[in-house]
Chain A
Amino acid sequence: MTGLSHDVLIVGGGLAGLRAAVGLCDKYDVALLSKVHPIRSHSIAAQGGINAALANNPDSRDDTWEKHAFDTIKGSDYLADQDAVEVMCREAPGIVYEMEHWGCPFSRFPDGSIAQRPFGGAGYPRTCYSTDLTGHVLLNTLYERAVMKGVRVYPEWYVTALATHDGVCHGVAAFDLMNGEIVPITAKATVFATGGYGRVYFYSTNALINTGSGIGIAYKAGVPLKDMEFVQFHPTGLIGTNILMTEACRGEGGYLVNNRDERFMERYAPKAMELAPRDIVSRSIQTEINEGRGFDHPLGTYIKLDLTHLGEKKILAKLPGIRKICIDFIGIDPIREPIPIMPCQHYSMGGIDTNAKTATEVRGFFAAGECACVSVHGGNRLGGNSLLETIVFGKMAAGAVDEYLSRETVSPKDEIVLRAARETDGKMTALTAGGKEKTFALHGELARTMSTNVGIFRERAEMEKALEEIGRIGERYRDIGVSSPDRHMNYELMNAVELEYMIEVAHTIAHGALLREESRGAHSRRDFPKRDDETWLRHTIARMNGDGSVGISFRDVTITRYQPMERVY
């Protein structure tokens, strides 16, 4: 096994990872590892926009970062750490300007400033966008910047394990997919920017690569996770494929309509209507469906997202990507017909426990973006805040790594990284030794139980059932068999390695959800329908016990100036 060595490893080539790499590459020997080419990362699929209180919209001249912070905290159902939210919202305008200066082609207002649109849960139209391709343009811009700066990229290298010892990170073990080799890589600092865990759910808007295995890898290496029970369900996933229909559809004026031709949101959020936060809109849609007011379809029951009244001109100008997806994937032109939608898993609020500077409990190990939980989203993330989080905290990670490496003398040890690589090698050999279980079948069962039993509405008996099933799936995992021992371009093998981590991620979600006996943000318990600030205004911190069980501790939420109030929209 030939090893590699770099000062800093960034794992993940989406917005958070690229921003961290761009911020460090002038001063350090940086390597970015990504299991797909960076431009294929899931940041590319973000549609609606990125929030910043620029006050460009004529309707938002008095917008401020403090108002953005308030909306974010209220949206989080007061679980977000307010100091971290303040940092993110204060940084937001500078981040958007920086991306613009680096070439990001934002849509424009007639006065030449960056265009901003209304989004859910926001008091002002502050979501900056580029039609409905905002993630696409931001990722391209940051990748262009990385190319300009000559960032060293290892494309299609999948990190299989984190090498930690005595609370210090020494690097990773990586799987070079093209050559089929396992490579130990030492580093003084490692940053995970590995994305969310959407594929732990059966109905998800997420890309197929979003397995959340980075979160599971950190957890298995002894890094605690935070608030894993908070899972965002997006109100509008296309029926069948579950492709995201951006919140901008409603931001631009789209309606949600049931089979009685009612804009039912007036019963749930009379003021905000379709632009209430996602947790509320998703629950409203699911309630309409559960109570028989949806439309039947061979692919499931749906609600209509109606854009037809917006007119051809506005749809072509503001939502061209949505129109193209609808035509390509369901044969519907939204200019003429409503879009059939259902709520789908969309975003991971929980993740690797970090502080507001992206540092974790393990020295030399940092995390940023969707895989991390700072927490700036708390119980429910507002649309337009995830793109913001990736870039703000990607930049923060660069700062934190620099500070760490300037302060401490770090000497990562080859033998610790080599041990991690040997473990991966052993695992892969075992996986190809002819077990009778199949990865896709176990993954399907895992995802189904999560969607059915740890979904939008939750209750004790269902979650206990989910935990039992996850346990059984974990047992059966030991007997997985991969078809071919050839490791190069062996996606079945990579998926099998990832599944082990996905099971752990699902385990922590279900465990946290069962434990949290209240309803807050996206975590909605039928058996505990009220928010309980007395007991539960705190984060859950999950650690893996020696016997594989989840150990939970609690941490108070940081409150600066926004006292918890009832959440009405």
Chain B
Amino acid sequence: MITTTAYTFKILRSDRKRPDERPWFQTYRVKVIPGLTVLAVLNRIRDEIDGTLSFRSSCRSAVCGSCAMVINGRIDLACRTQVASFGANTIILEPLPNMEIIKDLVVDMTPFWRMYEKVRPWLVRRTPDPGKEIEQSEEERSRIDQFVNCILCACCYGACPVIARDPEYLGPAALAKLERFILDSRDERPDDFLDTVNDEKGVWGCDTVLRCIEACPKDVRPTDSIVGLRKALVKKKARQLLGMKK
């Protein structure tokens, strides 16, 4: 026999197309079996109780990055969060901060993608491609491990206090993506590319309060990338001051 537990879900509702309406919390009561995720309950609410509720979802296995939101004050993916994990029978859901709300739990991620594109997130090569793979040692490959794991869900972007006060700050995900390429032994972007992030909108904007690390559902540590990029910039500066070429 599976026993169910009664839960109260309070979901912040709003609609960009109805600017005159103030956002409000709508309450839904559902019975939940053990092991159910927040996303599974959201789907049930939309299916069985309220078809007007909007939220994004796809893979339901924490790899596609669609369903980032604030769950009882904590940023996470709805699909990998167990309803029972809070030790409370009330679950409060709010949209990801730092982005404009389109409707209910759906936010406009355009600024997030704009920052992503700014760091030129692709492998830059100048040497002609060999007829086969570009060799890379296991150790070289392992340097980018954690940054490769990023699923671009924007949990970190939503958690970042710097973006909250300066929307032009690149943010943790974009900087982690940049470091993923800087650390890639195959990448040949010019050294001065780092200058594009050498300011308060880039690596120096970070408060290093590690909210991004806390929020990341895939154990990526964006702050490591920011510290790494800062070190690279300092080294470069030192070399210049000492009159060294490289």
Contacts and interface: CB of A to CB of B under 8 A. Distances in A.
B138 A110 contact: yes
A298 interface: yes
A488 B58 CA distance: 18
Contacts of A440: 46-48
Contacts, number: 158
A391 B36 CA distance: 36
Contact of B58 (A40, A101, A324): A40
B17 interface: yes
Contacts of B15: 486
Contacts of A324: 62, 218-219
Interface string A311-331: 000000000010011001111
B152 A39 contact: yes
Interface in B166-187: 181, 184, 186-187
A483 interface: yes
A328 B58 contact: no
B207 interface: no
Interface residues of B, number: 62
B118 to A, nearest CB: 11
Interface size band for A: 35 or more
Interface string A101-126: 11101111111111000000000000
Chain B at the A interface: SS class: loop
A207 B64 contact: yes
B46 A492 contact: yes
B136 interface: yes
A96 B134 CA distance: 11
Contacts of B46: 440, 491-492
Contacts of A137: 148
Contacts of B125: 101
B119 to A, nearest CB: 10
Contacts of B140: 108
Contacts of A45: 59, 61, 63-64
Contact of B134 (A37, A100, A110, A492): A100
A244 B48 CA distance: 27
A526 B100 CA distance: 56
Interface string B105-130: 01011000100110011110100010
A186 to B, nearest CB: 26
A241 B61 contact: yes
A565 interface: no
Contact of B61 (A105, A113, A140, A243): A243
A303 to B, nearest CB: 19
Contacts of A105: 141, 144, 148, 184
Contacts of B73: none
Contacts of A37: 109, 113
Interface stretch (A142-150, A333-341, A353-361): A142-150
Contacts of A136: 63, 151
B103 interface: yes
B201 interface: no
Interface string B52-85: 1011111111111110000000000000100000
B133 A113 contact: yes
A44 interface: yes
Given A103-B122, A240-B35, A329-B80, A207 B47 contact: no
Interface string B10-22: 0000010100000
B138 A103 contact: no
A144 B123 CA distance: 8
A109 B132 CA distance: 14
Given A37-B109, A483-B50, A489-B106, A208 B57 contact: yes
A491 B66 contact: no
Given A137-B148, A207-B58, 16 more contacts: A39-B152, A40-B58, A44-B63, A45-B61, A45-B63, A45-B64, A101-B129, A107-B141, A112-B137, A147-B116, A148-B122, A208-B60, A209-B58, A324-B219, A441-B47, A490-B52
Interface of B: 2, 15, 17, 35, 37, 43, 46-48, 50-52, 54-66, 80, 102-104, 106, 108-109, 113, 116-117, 120-123, 125, 129, 131-138, 140-141, 144, 148-149, 151-152, 181, 184, 186-187, 218-219
12 contacts: A37-B109, A40-B66, A45-B61, A101-B123, A101-B134, A113-B133, A141-B123, A178-B108, A299-B35, A440-B48, A441-B47, A489-B102
7 pairs of A and B residues whose beta carbons are closest in the complex: A103-B123, A483-B51, A112-B135, A440-B47, A492-B51, A144-B122, A489-B103
